[in-house]
């Protein structure tokens, strides 16, 4: 008797994935339905909910732009240059992936917060970082640091230097080379990196919770909104926002998959 390995494998994996992913998503939809779509919509249109969505969007945009630019610069430096400490740099950049978000929040608190290293100068300048917008920005930048970098670096390695060398022999300046040769070549990696950055920024929770404090209307992002709503037993609002985030992430996922599709060959 020939064991139908292929069928077995298929069923096992599909079953595993369904259990783990498909079903939970439909569960949230059902929960929202339970609370009534109308009521949920009303909750979400309240000012604080809208504000938290807006805040998340702004933070994500900042992360994409700042870490996008950084990602390109750092990738160029890491891949195309040699200097003492390069390997250390390489390792440091990966750290945000392994540090727990709560620890991130704590670390920045220790610098900007009460009793922190920079507390005095900050108070003197009357700048608020912790439990304020700047703190959220810093936390988001930290956690989204490596994504664009890794994608662009990967593409840079693949593409190689021949195009750039050709440009140099034709007299192009460094900026011209970058703008006309390098940038188009890394377009795809950049897009992937930006998408991953976006997804990560949207989902950031622990660090912004600790550093921001989830102050409604001021430092409450979409994720911390959900947390606060759950604490206050406002299930409709919580699940509604969760659904919104889930839908947005699906869209982001769709973009990512579209980018990954075979027409990748430039």
Partner 1 sequence: MNALVSSFLRNSLWPNRISRNSLSTALSPAVQRGRGGLALRWVALVYVGLLVVLPLTALVAKGLGVGTHGIVQALSAPAASAALWLTVWTAALMSVINAVMGTFTAWLLVRHDFPGRRIVSALVDLPLAIPTLVAGMMIVVLLGPQSAIGGYCSRHGFDIVFATPGIVLALLFINLPMVVRAVEPVMRELDPAEQEAAHTLGASDVRIYFQILLPPLLPAIATGTLQSFARALAEFGSIVVVSGNIPFRTLTSPVYIFGEVESGASDTAAAVSLVLLALASALLLAVRGLERFLAAYKRT
Residues 138-177 contacting partner 1, CB under 8 A: 138, 141-142, 145, 150-151, 153-154, 156-157, 160-161, 164-165, 167-168, 174-175, 177
Site for partner 1 in 32-51 (CB under 8 A): none
Give the total of residues touching partner 1 (CB under 8 A).
Answer: 101
Torsion sign (Cα): 191, 193, 196, 198: negative
Compare residues 41 and 97 and give the one whose CB is closer to partner 1: 97
Is residue 116 near partner 1 by the rule CB under 8 A? yes
Report in angstroms how near the CB of residue 204 gets to partner 1 at its nearest.
Answer: 8
Run of H or E including 138: helix 133-143
Using the rule CB under 8 A, is 99 a contact of partner 1? yes
Residue in 41, 257, 264, 266 binding partner 1, rule: CB under 8 A: 257
Crossing angle of the two packed helices 145-159 and 86-98, in degrees rounded to 10? 130
Residues 6+ apart with CB under 8 A from 235: 31, 35, 229
Q: Express the helix, strand and coil content of the chain in percent, nearest 5 each.
A: 80, 0, 20
Residues 226-245 that bind partner 1 (CB under 8 A): 226-227, 230, 238-239, 242, 245
Tokens 């990748």 found at: 264
Q: Kindly indicate which of the ranges 26-34, 45-53, 57-65, 125-133 contains the residues binding partner 1, using the contact rule CB under 8 A.
A: 26-34
Among 224, 64, 219, 84, residue whose Cα is nearest residue 148: 64
């Amino acid at each position: 008797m020939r064991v139908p390995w292929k069928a077995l494998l298929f069923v096992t994996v599909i079953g595993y994935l369904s259990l783990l992913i498909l079903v939970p998503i439909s569960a949230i939809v059902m929960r929202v339905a339970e609370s009534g779509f109308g009521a949920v919509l009303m909750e979400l249109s309240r000012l604080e909910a809208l504000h938290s969505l807006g805040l998340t969007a702004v933070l994500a945009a900042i992360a994409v732009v700042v870490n996008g630019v950084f990602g390109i610069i750092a990738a160029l430096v890491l891949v195309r240059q040699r200097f003492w400490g390069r390997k250390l740099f390489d390792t440091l950049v990966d750290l945000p992936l392994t540090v727990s978000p709560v620890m991130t929040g704590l670390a920045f608190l220790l610098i900007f917060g009460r009793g922190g290293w920079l507390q005095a100068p900050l108070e003197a300048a009357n700048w608020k970082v912790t439990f304020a917008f700047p703190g959220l920005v810093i936390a988001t930048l930290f956690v989204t640091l490596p994504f664009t970098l890794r994608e662009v670096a990967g593409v840079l390695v693949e593409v190689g230097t021949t195009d750039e060398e050709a440009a140099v022999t034709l007299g192009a300046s460094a900026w011209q080379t970058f703008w006309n040769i390098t940038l188009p070549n890394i377009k795809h990696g950049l897009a992937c990196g930006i998408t991953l950055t976006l997804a990560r920024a949207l989902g950031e929770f622990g660090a912004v919770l600790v550093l921001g404090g989830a102050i409604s209307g001021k430092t409450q992002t979409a994720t911390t909104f959900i947390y606060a709503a759950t604490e206050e037993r406002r299930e409709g609002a919580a699940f509604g926002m969760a659904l919104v985030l889930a839908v947005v992430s699906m869209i982001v996922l769709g973009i990512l998959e579209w980018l990954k599709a075979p027409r990748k060959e430039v």
